[in-house]
Amino acid sequence: MEQNTTRPTTKRTRRLWLALFFLAGSLTLPAQTQSFTLQQAIDYAMQNQSSVKTARFDEYIAKKQVNDYVGVGLPQLKANFSFNDNLLLRTTVIPASSFNPLAGPDDVLELKFGVQYTTDANASLTQLIFDGSFFVGLKAARIYAELAHKQVALTQTQTAATVSKAYYTALMSDVQMGILTTNINRLQQLYLNTKGLNEAGFVEKIDVDRLEINLKNLVAQQVRMERQAALAQDLLKFQMGMDPNETIILADSINIDAIVPITDNWADESEMYKKRQEFELLQTQRDLNLLNAKRIRMGNLPSVVAFGNLGTNWMSDKFDLFSARRWYPYAVVGLQASMPLFTGGRGNAQVAMAKLEAEKVSVSMEQFKNAVSMEIRQARTAVMNSRTSLEANKETLDLADNVYKVSQIKYQEGVGSNLEVLQAEQSLREAQTNYLTSLYEYFIAQIDLRKAQGELFTK
């Protein structure tokens, strides 16, 4: 009886352990939490952001295209093999008088030349000796690789700007959450004190109700702010190329001391366009167009190719492929030169189009210089305006904070009203919002200024 009882128990235990094993295997690991400063977030994006990765792939492809083009000028060795079964030989008709003088003028001979089976095995070697367009094209391919490299730098700068703005957006959301939490705690304490005074008969119930309404509004605002903060972090992770299921912590904090004072003593912006990757891209594009015109002109020169061919033929009416008597070796070496004589004016038209494309890029370069100067001046104006607003809003915030403290003291001493405290509290929250908005605008303006001056990302 004991044995019969033990066995089912053992089976149930095994089933339990097996179920736990599969359950543990199906559980997913918790999302990893990582801490990032702004610079670390930018560095992470440089390795993981999809646009940066795509630009790097384009750079690798451009480098491989250079190798591919170089291969055209190297020796080309190729092996060939062909086998033919001439099921029906072609018939050739010739006058019979060619072989028989006595034949009539209308008599013909029907002849078949060839055998049923033929094969050819050979190896051919070619080497480019001279081709003017090849060497110009090789230089153009290398410049194209430089163009792809500069495109990577431009993509990195753009990514650094978007990551920086997303980082400050998430950071300001955290700051707003902290201030909102402080406001809720302060208002909740005032609510509890007022409620106690009401229960003691010192204040009216309407005073408690006003505070309760404001407190509920702040709590609802906190819920909305939490969602906005989560969206801000999701945006930051997206710009960084990070898995949205991971959790990040912002290691940086708002540094008020880093805010520079307003100044009109800016550096001369007339030469700052040279730091911009966009200008380098335009220069490279113009060089490519000029090289393309040169390549077309060089195509009018002769091209010379050396070649050699070594092979053997086999021919027979019987399928005796390995019969040594029917293999006939051959070899040939030589030079081949070619030169276009008349193309209907296409070459001249192509050269003219390439030059016009280069001139178009030159016009774009001049326009870009002026655009950069305007962009820098606009960015500097935005920095100064946001700095002015920040100073004014900071003074307003200090005043609003002082008014709130005074109104609270007056209310506690019985010489002020509850409504006065609520108005002061609302003015304080409005001043906080304006201050944080101007602070955010200042940091964004700084990012735009550094980007306009070509100083945002250099590596």
Q: Which residues of 73-104 are buried (b: 16+ CB within 10 A; e: fewer)?
A: eeeeeeeeeeeeeeeeeeeeeeebeeeeeeee
Calpha distance 399→40 (Å, rounded): 38
Arithmetic mean of pLDDT, 116-131 = 90
* pTM, entire model: 0.79
- Asked whether the beta carbons of 48 and 246 are under 8 A apart, the reply is no
Three-state helix/strand/coil letters over 125-166: EEEEEECHHHHHHHHHHHHHHHHHHHHHHHHHHHHHHHHHHH
Written out in words, the top-level CATH class of the domain with range 29-72+131-302+339-452 is mainly alpha
The CA radius of gyration of the chain, in Å to the nearest whole number, is 42
- Asked whether the beta carbons of 114 and 77 are under 8 A apart, the reply is no
One-letter amino acid of 62: A
Report residue 85's pLDDT band, with 50, 70 and 90 as the boundaries. Answer: confident
Beta strands in 247-366, from DSSP E residues, in sequence order: 247-250, 303-316, 327-338
Tokens of 93: 């008709």
- Asked whether the beta carbons of 108 and 93 are under 8 A apart, the reply is yes
- What residues have CB less than 8 Å from 325, skipping those under 6 apart? none
- Asked whether the beta carbons of 33 and 248 are under 8 A apart, the reply is yes
Calpha distance 159→50 (Å, rounded): 10
Nearest to 35 by CA among 254, 259, 253: 253
Arithmetic mean of pLDDT, 27-52 = 83
In the numeric block, the tokens 């109104």 are attached to: 407
Phi/psi at 28 (5° precision): -95, 145
Report residue 10's pLDDT band, with 50, 70 and 90 as the boundaries. Answer: low
Calpha distance 399→316 (Å, rounded): 110
Q: What is the pLDDT of residue 29?
A: 45
Q: Characterize the bridge pairing of strands 91-95 and 33-36.
A: unpaired
Calpha distance 288→299 (Å, rounded): 16
Residue 1: pLDDT over 70: no
Q: What is the pLDDT of residue 311?
A: 93
Report residue 263's pLDDT band, with 50, 70 and 90 as the boundaries. Answer: low
Question: What does 207-232 look like in DSSP terms, one character per residue?
Answer: HHHHHHHHHHHHHHHHHHHHHHHHHH
For residue 442, the tally of other CB atoms under 10 A from its CB is: 21
Report residue 87's pLDDT band, with 50, 70 and 90 as the boundaries. Answer: confident
Report residue 346's pLDDT band, with 50, 70 and 90 as the boundaries. Answer: confident
Arithmetic mean of pLDDT, 12-39 = 61
Q: What is the pLDDT of residue 6?
A: 45
Q: Compute the mean pLDDT over every residue in the chain, rounded to the nearest whole number.
A: 86
| Helical H segments across 200-337, by residue range | 205-240, 277-298
Q: What is the pLDDT of residue 52?
A: 95
- Asked whether the beta carbons of 127 and 336 are under 8 A apart, the reply is no
